[in-house]
A = this chain, B = another copy of it.
Amino acid sequence: MDFEQADALNQAIRLLSLRHRARAAALLAPLGLHPGQEALLLELARTGPMIQAELSEALGCEPPSVTLMSRKLEAAGHVRRTPAPSDRRASVVELTDSGKALVGQIKQLWCALADETVTGLPAQTVAELPGILRTLVGNVDGRARRPHGSGVA
């Protein structure tokens, strides 16, 4: 791929990151949430109580990030953290009633955000988009972890 194309792609991804996050922040602010926190709440709503290591895996971010996220959500009253009975190292995170109530609102504006994000795209493209994006994620994620370093790094 020549540089023009590569730059168009990389720059578009960078801008999408900034803008989509900024838009999510604007939508979540009225709920008292910062972007990132909604992902934790949604994951708990989807899967039920989880320990932080599982959350870290599910959210795709590192354990220290999960520690901070869950602690802030606990301080806000949306989440409860209790020691795991079977493993004294682990702590189970689960939604409180307040958190469950919030999830409903998050789901609404999550739909609104997705709708406005894909405005103007043909339905087929919209349908394919999540799969395409996940392919991209898998591509850059895989290379970052597998040690078959392609020479450049």
Q: Which residues of A contact B (CB under 8 A)?
A: 1-3, 5-24, 26-27, 30, 39, 42, 60-61, 107-121, 125, 128-130, 132-137, 139-141, 143-144, 150, 152-153
Give every chain B residue within 8 A of A18 (Cβ-Cβ). 60-61
Q: Are B153 and A16 in contact (CB under 8 A)?
A: no
Give every chain B residue within 8 A of A140 (Cβ-Cβ). 16, 19-20, 22-23, 113, 116-117
Closest B residue, CB atoms, query A144: B23
Task: Tell me, rounded to whole Å, the shortest Cβ–Cβ distance linking A57 to chain B.
Answer: 12
Give every chain B residue within 8 A of A60 (Cβ-Cβ). 15, 18-19
Give every chain B residue within 8 A of A19 (Cβ-Cβ). 60, 137, 140-141, 144
Q: Are B20 and A114 in contact (CB under 8 A)?
A: no
Choose among B15, B30, B152 the residue that contacts A153 (Cβ–Cβ < 8 A). Answer: B30
Identify whether the interface residues of A are mostly helix, strand, loop, or mixed. Answer: helix
Q: Are A23 and B118 in contact (CB under 8 A)?
A: no
Task: Tell me, rounded to whole Å, the shortest Cβ–Cβ distance linking A142 to chain B.
Answer: 9
Closest B residue, CB atoms, query A122: B132
Q: How far is the CA of A152 from the CA of B13 in the complex (A)?
A: 26
Can you list 10 residue pairs at the A/B interface with Cβ under 8 Å? Answer: A1-B111, A3-B111, A5-B114, A6-B107, A16-B137, A18-B61, A19-B141, A23-B143, A121-B135, A125-B128
Q: A20-B136, A136-B118 are in contact. Are A129 and B27 (CB under 8 A)?
A: no
Q: Are B17 and A16 in contact (CB under 8 A)?
A: yes
Q: How far is the CA of A109 from the CA of B3 in the complex (A)?
A: 10
